[in-house]
Structure 1
Amino acid sequence: MTALAVRRRPALLLLVLLAGWLALGVATAGPAAAHAELVSTDPGEGARLDAVPGQVTLRFTEGVSLGAGYARVLGAGGERVDTGAPRVDGDTVTVPLRGDLPDTSYVVTYRIVSADSHPVSGAFAFVVGDGELADAGAVAGDPAVDPVVAVALPAARTLGFAGLAVGLGVPAFLALCWPAGWASTRVRRLTTAGLGAVAAGAVLTFLLQGPYADGAGLGSVLDPALLAATGSSSFGLTTLGRGLLALLLAGLLVPLWHRAAPPQPQEAAGLAVVAGGVVLTTAAVGHPVAGALPVFATAVTAVHVAAMALWLGGLAALMAGLVRPGADAGELAGALPRWSRVASGAVAALVVTGVVQSVREVGSPAALVSTTYGWLLLAKLALVLLLLAAAGVSRVWVQQHLGVARPRPGGRRRVTAHAFAATAPGDGPGSEDGSAVAAARERAAVQARGAVEDVAPLRRSVLVEAAVAAVVLALSAVLVGTPPARATLAEPVDVTLPLQSAAGESGSVQLSVDPARPGANTLHLYLFDDAGRLAQPEDLRVTLTEAEQEIGPLEVDLEPAGPGHWVADGMSIPGAGTWTLAVSVRLDEFTATTASTDFPVR
């Protein structure tokens, strides 16, 4: 991942950390949440009431907002029966109802915006009196995301990410690696275009968020109500702030372009502060601000974004100004060792923060290979490995054109004249071969005078890196808009529990629930006695309870499927939450045993 100076250690570190993550995921995989999910309602789904309630309450797994969405209650004919504006208090939405409503079936339909800026919608029904429960899906008719908006929003994010890499990374490369580049007209235009792309991407993302949340088309991007809803949200304010900071940074760079000189210390400090604001406002939206530890996740994402900008911005600067036909070898030899150190640090930061983000958003190897988010992440990883290969080609060119051979006990090896790799132990001035290193550098300095005649192979390899990096940015934009794997993976339950009685353990029960999602599930139950043989009890009872939502106990109807084996095909789980499956067994007239297990449903 270090464009011209990639070393084997970052690649090895990437693989080691990935393997460690897989092992950690196997060991710690369990319930987790990210996207907002409905966990309880009052009245409950399918409830039958004696009187019409004064309000309907919905509670989610994380803080939500209505934004451009809605929360409504409809009568049996589809007419609205709610009154006033719904109230949002953290993770709870309350919808007041009109008075004097008749006894009939009612449908609650909602489309809210979760903390990570994505819309979450659904519907459920309850009935007052003895009437028939309405079909919530048929009455609600909730709109899906417009397909054009679904494509345009990731495209706007990609534009912003690409601009971020160029607009921040190129000036950083000039300041850290190539001071002479401040005089390059091509580099100046590239940086200005990059910062303009950041601002344009922010504005487009802001405009598209309203239709995205509302399920509307492109024709509503300038709808005043949608603009006001987005502008009043933290997502909208942060996004616009990013665009304004990018324009401010472009303005601060103008004096430097005019005098074609590096910034003074005070100017560099000001540029760093504004660039840090652009990075932070990029990190402080989407998945990092939702779920557990949002401050920590935002900080990790900010480091990831900054490292990405340093690395890809260096690639852009190399292509635009430094790696060109007739390039001066001395100029190359002066910039490349600095770039080596910067890029090596950037790749290390990318690897570490990328692994941390993956553990938070994916959670387990099973989610990695069974969710859309996981497969997109694997594709991104494959492209990163391709980048390592392309960077290796660049490294070989640098060794061949700017490197020298130096003696080493037991043989000879090739190194770059500009300390392309880190100095190994024993390479210092006081070492035995320190004089050889000094001589090698002196010869390299002689070689550096004049121009490198053929940089075409180097340009091609850097161009490949840049092209693959563009695809990585596009995948990153899609990942931002994809529900995290943790939020979409349902893990079937398969557990064996000891049966407890007043006298202690007495046999065991094996339970499996598949797929452990809201709706119809299949339960298999196997009963064993103390000797491990399949047992046939006098009485068997299974119940489902969601204590936090005060649902249950719900009786589960079992059908015998063989000796010691029962099945509940179509066992209904009303909604998401942490459910308790309890088993009560009476083995004989005097022995009663119980067992229970908690499992997540999402």
Structure 2
Amino acid sequence: MTMRTGAPILILFVMLAALFLSPGYAFAHAELERSVPEPNARLSEGPAAVEIYFNEPIESKVGALDVLDNNSKAVTGEAPAAGADRKSLKLPLPKLDEGVYTVSYSIVSSDGHPISGSYVFIVGNPPEAVDASSFDLHKQFGHESHGTDSGSFSWKTLILYIVRFLYYSALLLAAGVMLWSLLYKGGADAMNAVRKKWELQIMRFLLLAALVYVFIHASEMMLGYPASDYAKLFGETSVGRGWIALIVLAVAGFPILKLGRVVRMIWAAALLGVESWSGHAVVFEPKAVTVLLDFVHLASSAVWVGGLALLLALWSADRKEAGRFASAFSRAALVSIVLLILTGVVMTLTFMPSLRYLFYTSWGSMLLAKTGAVLLVLVVGALLRRRVRRGDLPSMTLMRLDLGLMAIILAVVGIFTYISPLPGNTPVVYHKMGEEMHLTLRISPNNPGADNKFTVKVWLPEQTGAPKNVVLRLKSQDRKELGAIDVPLQPYEDDEISSFEGFVRADYKAEGPFIPFAGKWNAEIRVMDQEDNEKVESYEFRTY
């Protein structure tokens, strides 16, 4: 090689060496220096904006900065603004309620290097996440849940469901008949005869069903506990006080029969209100809205059930008056079914973080079955209404079909109002044995937005020694565009006896709301040994 040809190659080599060996350029990718609010900060009120600062200029027109709530929804649609030096981004925020929020950034540095990450901050004292454990009545008075396995079915379970079916039938029938006292004022003689014959029987049915319902549920709740705890159940829990109110209203129904229409309507509203305040709706926020929706749902059901019962009774007593009542009933039933569907949809969307949850629990399966039956009721009601509008008497076949669908719906209600609408979270326990490393990961209680406890245990061969560094990263599998959340592990000494011959153990822990929202997550554990060899293990889990 001549000097003339070798010189350019030598110069090129020197330039490349300078390029790749210069600490000021080759490894100077932008890094996050600080953020406002800081990772894992606990604030008394929401910040006006989120700001992130980097050590080098970034491409402000590329990438994203988002703040997500505990449902993984963006809290603002505004775009972040870059600082004058192009080293920072600022995203203005609306007023934030109490909760756990995720800051997610994904940017590109000036040298084209992508950078992403996520962290959480907390505003106020957010309420605990709602899952199956939220519907455990034992927690209200300090007991541990100990009922039969929800997955098992026995004759006791069958009796419980039959009692609940009879109770809801009596509740809606009694309330519905009372409401129709105000809704229908025609046919005084025929209607009064029907009411005189049936209303007293309905009130007896309600009182008996309520007493058996409370007895069965209280006995199940107190199984294995001292009799003295019954006073605690009925005096210190909202459900127990609701049961007392239910029995009082059932007894009061007898003298109410002799009073006017307005008093009857108030009694019916009180009866449905007590049931609304004792159901699933009271667990969710905003409580006033969910309870109101449940009340409207129950009232619509009562109008339909009570009206259908009166129509069948009038059919036997006076066909002509049955035809007149059928006209009023068909209109009210149509409105009731529409309200049932609307309130049912809104409540389902409120209870369920995602419609996928309908397929995770028996509650979802029951709801889908109920929805199908309600849609059939809508079809039957439309056929009945068409006959009535033509001036024909209601078809007995259609009324029987409507009655059968009503029984199916009430049976489903008796079951699915007893079980949790949400799956239960269980702690994450993962252990893997390997020739070069053993690993344990524990996350408890594994609730989204809660201060979960994270434990990582690593065993490396004695000749390798203790790990130099251990990193735990959580990645959302539902929102893969989000950066990973680093859990700030700290070493600690655990007195748990778990040793393996020829291995050295290192223990790490952290606590905080590092699972900010429900969904599928991937836990990535990166273990660096003393010679900078890295081993990576991943484990996928779900939180509801």
State the identity %.
20
C-alpha change, 1:556 and 1:387, in structure 2 (3 Å) is farther
Tell me, which stretches of 5 or more residues in structure 1 are unaligned?
1-25, 38-59, 67-87, 89-110, 113-119, 123-140, 256-266, 403-454, 491-516, 524-537, 560-573
1:199 aligns with 2:207: yes
Going from structure 1 to structure 2, the CA distance change for 1:277 and 1:557 (only over 3 Å counts) comes to: farther
Q: Does 1:64 align with 2:56?
A: no
Q: Which amino acid aligns with 2:182?
A: A
The one-letter code matched in structure 2 to 1:34 is D
Aligned to 2:499: none
Q: Is the 8 A contact 1:211 1:226 kept in 2?
A: no
Q: 1:153 aligns with which of 148, 160, 174?
A: 160
What is the distance in 2 between the residues matched to 1:146 and 1:335? 43
Confirm whether residue 35 of structure 1 aligns to residue 43 of structure 2.
Answer: no
2:423 pairs with 477, 481, 487, which one?
A: 487
Q: Distance in 1 between matches of 2:208 and 2:215?
A: 11
Name the structure 1 match of 2:358: 368
Q: Gapped runs of 5+ residues in structure 2?
A: 1-70, 74-99, 101-127, 462-508, 516-522
SS at match of 1:65: helix
Deviations 1:526-565 (A, max 9, x none): xxxxxxxxxxxx9999966669667344136799xxxxxx
Counterpart of 2:218 in structure 1 is: 210
- Give the direction of change, closer, same or farther, for the CA distance of 1:282–1:541 in structure 2 (3 Å limit): closer
Q: Distance in 1 between matches of 2:209 and 2:156?
A: 14
Which residue of 2 is the match for residue 317 of structure 1?
A: 310
Distance 1:521 1:551 in 2: 14
Counterpart selection for 2:319 from 327, 330, 334: 327
Contact 1:210–1:229 (8 Å) recurs in 2: no
User: In the aligned structure 2, how far is the partner of 1:556 from the partner of 1:212?
Assistant: 45
Aligned-pair distance for 1:306? 0.8
**1:473-494 deviation line (CA, Å, top 9, x unaligned):** 111011111122x233x6xxxx
Partner of residue 518, structure 1: 427
Q: Which structure has the bigger radius of gyration?
A: 2
How much is the aligned-residue C-alpha RMSD, in angstroms?
4.9
Which residue of 1 is the match for residue 40 of structure 2? none
* Structure 2 counterpart of 1:371, one-letter code: T
**Maintained 8 Å contact 1:249/1:274:** yes
What does the per-residue CA deviation read over 1:424-463, in whole Å, with 9 as the maximum and x for residues that have no partner?
Answer: xxxxxxxxxxxxxxxxxxxxxxxxxxxxxxx4x6122112
C-alpha distance in structure 1 between counterparts of 2:282 and 2:533, whole Å: 52
Partner SS for 2:288:
helix
Q: Are 1:277 and 2:270 matched, yes or no?
A: yes
Q: CA deviation at 1:162?
A: 1.1
CA contact (8 A) 1:153 1:208 kept: yes
Shift in Å, 1:325: 7.8
Deviation at 1:363, TM superposition (A): 3.5
Maintained 8 Å contact 1:149/1:208 = no
By how many angstroms is 1:589 displaced? 8.6
- Aligned letter for 2:360? S
Partner of residue 251 from structure 1, selected from 252, 255, 261: 255
Q: What is the 5 A alignment of 1:52-451?
A: 64-66=139-141, 88=142, 111-112=143-144, 120-121=145-146, 147-181=154-188, 183-215=191-223, 224-225=227-228, 227-232=230-235, 233-254=237-258, 267-321=260-314, 323-324=315-316, 327-328=319-320, 331=321, 334-402=324-392
Q: Where in structure 2 are the equivalents of 1:588-599 lying within 5 Å?
A: none
Letter in 1 for 2:234: G
Query: Residue 405 of structure 2 aligns to which amino acid in structure 1?
Result: V
Q: How many residues align?
A: 362
- CA–CA distance in structure 2, aligned partners of residues 245 and 63 of structure 1: 25
The TM-score, its normalising length taken from structure 2, stands at 0.55
Distance in structure 1 (CA, Å) of the matches to 2:136 and 2:200: 42
Which residue is 2:63 aligned to?
A: none
Q: CA deviation at 1:302?
A: 1.1
| Paired AA for residue 248 in structure 2 | L
Q: Distance in 2 between matches of 1:148 and 1:590?
A: 62
Partner letter of residue 284 of structure 1? W
Local SS of the residue matching 1:33? coil
Contact 2:430–2:440 (CA under 8 A) maintained in structure 1: no
Quote the offset at 1:167 in angstroms.
Answer: 1.4
Q: Could you report, residue by residue, the CA deviation over 1:494-538 in whole angstroms, capped at 9, with x for unpaired residues? A: xxxxxxxxxxxxxxxxxxxxxxx4354589xxxxxxxxxxxxxx9
* Cα distance per residue 1:38-83 (max 9 Å; x no partner): xxxxxxxxxxxxxxxxxxxxxx9999223xxxxxxxxxxxxxxxxx
Give the CA deviation at 1:334.
4.5
Residue 202 of structure 1 deviates from its aligned partner by 1.9
Distance 2:437 2:155 in 1: 58
CA offset at residue 275 of structure 1? 1.5
* Rounded Cα–Cα distance in structure 2 between residues aligned with 1:462 and 1:214: 42
Shift in Å at residue 208 of structure 1? Answer: 1.5
What residue is the counterpart of 1:568 in the other structure?
none
TM-score, length-scaled by structure 1:
0.50
466-475 vs 184-193, which moves further: 184-193
Q: Report the counterpart of residue 263 of structure 1 in structure 2.
A: none
SS at match of 1:555: strand
* CA positional deviation for 1:587: 12
The answer to whether the 8 A contact 1:376-1:479 is kept is yes
SS of match in other structure, 2:140: strand
CA contact (8 A) 1:203 1:243 kept: yes
**What is the alpha-carbon distance in structure 1 between the residues aligned to residue 512 and residue 280 of structure 2?**
21
- Name 1:469's counterpart in structure 2: 406
Q: Is the 8 A contact 2:203 2:250 kept in 1?
A: yes
Q: Is the 8 A contact 2:361 2:423 kept in 1?
A: no
Distance 2:444 2:207 in 1: 47
Q: Secondary structure at the match of 1:395?
A: helix
Q: Following the alignment from structure 1 to structure 2, what is the Cα–Cα distance between the partners of residues 465 and 387?
A: 6
The aligned amino acid for 1:305 is L
Aligned partners of 2:197 and 2:207: how far apart in 1? 15
* One-letter amino acid of the counterpart of residue 351, structure 1: I
Q: What's 1:43 paired with?
A: none
- Residue 387 of structure 1: CA displacement? 1.5
SS at match of 2:360: coil
Cα shift at 1:241: 1.1
Distance in 2 separating the partners of 1:146 and 1:465: 29
Alpha-carbon deviations, 1:368-398, whole Å to 9, x = none? 1232111111111111122223223323432
- Tell me the distance in 2 between the aligned counterparts of 1:374 and 1:597: 28
Compute the displacement of 1:239 (Å): 1.4
2:457 maps to 555
Q: Kindly tell me: are residues 394 and 522 of structure 1, through their superposed partners in 2, closer, same or farther at Cα, counting changes over 3 Å?
A: farther
Query: CA distance change for structure 1 residues 600 and 542 in 2, over 3 Å: closer, same or farther?
Result: same
